[in-house]
Amino acid sequence: MVTKPLTKNIDMSRPPLDIGAYEATDGYQSLQAIAKGLSPQDVLQLVKDSGLKGRGGAGFPTGMKWSFVPQGESSPQQKYFVVNADEMEPGTFKDRLLMEGDPHLLLEGIIIGAYTIQANISYIFLRGEYVASEQALNAAIAEARQRGYLGKNILGTGFDLDIIVHTSAGRYICGEETALLNALEGKRANPRAKPPFPQVSGLWGKPTIVNNVETVCNLPGILTYGIDWYHGLTKGNDHGTKLFGISGKVKTPGCWELPLGTTIREIIEDYGGGMRDGLSLRGFLPGGGSTDFMLPEHLDIKFDYDEVAKVGSRLATGTMILLDDQTCPVGMIGNLMKFFAHESCGYCTPCRDGLPWVDEIFRELEAGRGTEKDLEILHEHVDYLGPGRTFCALAPGATAPLGSGLKYFAEDFERHVKEQRCPYRR
Amino acid sequence: MSEMSNESTMVNNVIASSATRARRLNAEEIAEIEHEMELYPDKRAVGLEALKIVQKHQGWVSDESLLAIASYLDIPVADLEGVATFFNLVYRRPVGRKVILFCNSVSCWIMGCDSIKEQIEHRLGIDFGETSEDGDFTLVPVPCLGDCDRAPVMMVGDDLHRNLTPEKIDQIFEQYRKQLTADG
Ligand SMILES: Cc1cc2nc3c(=O)[nH]c(=O)nc-3n(C[C@H](O)[C@H](O)[C@H](O)COP(=O)(O)O)c2cc1C
Ligand code: SF4
Ligand code: FES
């Protein structure tokens, strides 16, 4: 039985499987099922029943998202299926693995998704720096087109699809789905107001689905092996496997596909090899730079959406960033604030002006010039930049490590002010 | 562009005359831009692609190039400039023959990227945003390169370098020097 549907074909010590080898491991079976009569409505129902939630950060149920796309004669005939492959969340390194390791899996998933919502064009919005991903995807697209899995009248179904790789040029905000649509249209990538939601009015005003790479890679398994199999994968409440990553000072950092609901302790100790000798764990961001810190006391939590939410954080990308006891938490958070300040798109005032102010205060703390007043200002910004205060979720994302860090590492902040230096610096 | 036939052309011409003249796009650039135009329903959408294509051929995007693209795609210059300045990887100033994209995001920071950067500064004599005197290298900070389990990480041109140490920096740039010298 397949237990690692996302990575079963991945071996980074060799090139990815070509289309023949991919087919030999059940690849493109789902298209045969579609050719035999599985309708878009059938697929939609399967994906809803699977319980798949988006792997791009927000964890929104995929089947439900798709069901908002208007269908039928009166709906716009042009629809788009867009894959979010902009992966720029600090500490996140999972989508790259999927694209470079098994590009056909993503293509198969795209065909399934596009067929379900009846989109004839799919854009993969790819980070410009991912040169190897671009090559792997374009090579795989050429193979799939030759096989008749892309192009006109795919496998006699009457369904047409082209997949186009769009490479971006480095701007974190493009990962936000409405900013991504503006970028694809060739505009400056500021986010759009919602509603209307992209499902109804997205790319060039047409119904559009935006899904994360890893989300899409879940689809082939669901169709090929079925719902019961999919529901048997998890160890927790949410369904499926997930790519979990660890960066920071563990013995063996890496990225592994594991059942959702695996405990965090198991991931860090069994897969990450535990902390390096002489170091202990102070805390960690569970799913990239926009998540709230968690503490060693949370290690026995099952890593899935609900359990992580219960302790005030988010599973988000599932790639953990570990803080050890000899690394300065203030420095770590300061590094993140510099990133968010730089990547603010500048559209709304709290974010455009607030984040650079926060960044500046961290530099003052670092330089030994921090004051009590500075700490107050930081606390205020957790509120000023929080959810609901800004035009998009970038600034609230920044407040996640900031707010939780101020709470959990208050002593470290105080010491920077009292000692007028970074106490971790020798 | 011949006549001031529409608004965007007018804008282009006004700015062109007050600032500088568009250069001629070469045949290769035009062919590649035309190819991209087939992939999108609207030629405006190709603005970023065209900037990247020109940058690939010219090394960077000069004002003259920007004007040429705006006029070719019929995009108001200000709009295209808005796109060009928005993206970190569109260079509006000349850069060295190889651009070093140096990750200074959180995982690389934890793994000691500051000392790696010092080594680069020391070896090449450049800080972020600067180009080495011989015109070989430009150092640019970049957010997380998505290889955090092998931090610290940087790209030089299209090549990724992982698990960096100060010693490795010396070896890597020794190699590039040889390569660039051989390439002339
Ligand atoms: C600032 C910002 C950056 C984002 N970056 C990404 C990204 O790089 N990749 C991604 O899949 N989602 C990213 N998201 C989330 C997307 O907006 C969107 O929720 C996601 O692509 C939906 O896909 P899913 O339903 O499959 O998870 C980002 C969100 C924000 C606010
Ligand atoms: S919160 Fe920041 S990134 Fe989002 S729209 Fe406002 S300025 Fe732009
Ligand atoms: S933080 Fe440097 S590669 Fe991710």
Rounded to an integer, the average pLDDT of A4-22 is 98
CATH 1.20.1440.230 fits A329-419, yes or no: yes
B45 in ligand 3 pocket by Cβ < 6 Å?
no
Closest ligand to the CA of B144 = 3
For the segment A92-123, what is each residue's pLDDT rounded down to a tens digit?
Answer: 999 999 999 999 999 999 999 999 999 999 99
B61 and B113 share one domain: no
B179 and B106 share one domain: yes
* Ligand 2 binding pocket mutation candidate from A384, A385, A390 (most atoms within 8 A of CB): A390
Last residue of a domain, one of B86, B117, B140: B86
pLDDT given at position B183:
85
Last residue of a domain, one of B63, B86, B109: B86
B31 and B76 share one domain: yes
B114 and B157 share one domain: yes
B103 and B41 share one domain: no
pLDDT given at position B11:
44
Burial class (CB in 10 A: 0-12, 13-18, 19+), B166: middle
Per-domain residue ranges of chain A: 19-231, 241-324, 329-419
pLDDT given at position B184:
76
CATH topology of domain A241-324: Ubiquitin-like (UB roll) (3.10.20)
Identify the domain containing residue B29 by its residue range.
Answer: 2-86
- pTM given for the model: 0.95
How near does any CA of chain B get to the CA of A37, in Å? 30
Confidence of residue B8 (pLDDT cuts 50, 70, 90): very low
Rounded to an integer, the average pLDDT of A118-139 is 98
A406 in ligand 2 pocket by Cβ < 6 Å?
no
The answer to whether the CB of A234 falls within 8 A of the CB of A14 is: no
Closest CA to ligand 1's atom 1: A394
∠B183-B123-A364 over CA atoms, to 5°?
A: 130
A359 touches chain B (CB under 8 A): no
B175 and B113 share one domain: yes
B112 and B179 share one domain: yes
For the segment A220-265, what is each residue's pLDDT rounded down to a tens digit?
Answer: 999 999 999 999 999 999 999 999 999 999 999 999 999 999 999 9
For the segment A377-404, what is each residue's pLDDT rounded down to a tens digit?
Answer: 999 999 999 999 999 999 999 999 999 9
pLDDT given at position B145:
97
One-character DSSP codes across A179-215: HHHHHHTTS------SSSPTTTS-GGGS-EEEEEHHH
| Percent share of chain A, pLDDT over 70 | 100
A136 in ligand 2 pocket by Cβ < 6 Å?
no
Residue B13 tokens read as 């011409």
How near does any CA of chain B get to the CA of A131, in Å? 7
Please judge whether A168 and B87 are an interchain contact, meaning their C-beta atoms are less than 8 angstroms apart. yes
CATH 3.40.50.11540 fits A19-231, yes or no: yes
Q: Give residues 279 to 308 of A whose Cβ lies within 8 Å of B.
A: 289
B47 and B122 share one domain: no
Rounded to an integer, the average pLDDT of A66-79 is 95
CATH number, domain containing residue B143: 3.40.30.10
B117 and B79 share one domain: no
Instruction: Look up residue B9 and give its amino acid.
Output: T
How near does any CA of chain A get to the CA of B92, in Å? 13
B82 and B12 share one domain: yes
Rounded to an integer, the average pLDDT of B95-114 is 98
Please judge whether A169 and B51 are an interchain contact, meaning their C-beta atoms are less than 8 angstroms apart. yes
Confidence of residue B19 (pLDDT cuts 50, 70, 90): low
Domains held by chain B: number: 2
In a domain, B91, yes or no: no
Cα A245 to Cα A268: distance, rounded to the nearest angstrom: 9
For the segment A291-322, what is each residue's pLDDT rounded down to a tens digit?
Answer: 999 999 999 999 999 999 999 999 999 999 99
Last residue of a domain, one of B17, B51, B86: B86
Instruction: Give which of A410, A128, A186 is closest to B146, Cα–Cα.
Output: A128
pLDDT given at position B1:
34
- What ipTM was predicted for this assembly? 0.96
Closest CA to ligand 1's atom 23: A211
B48 and B117 share one domain: no
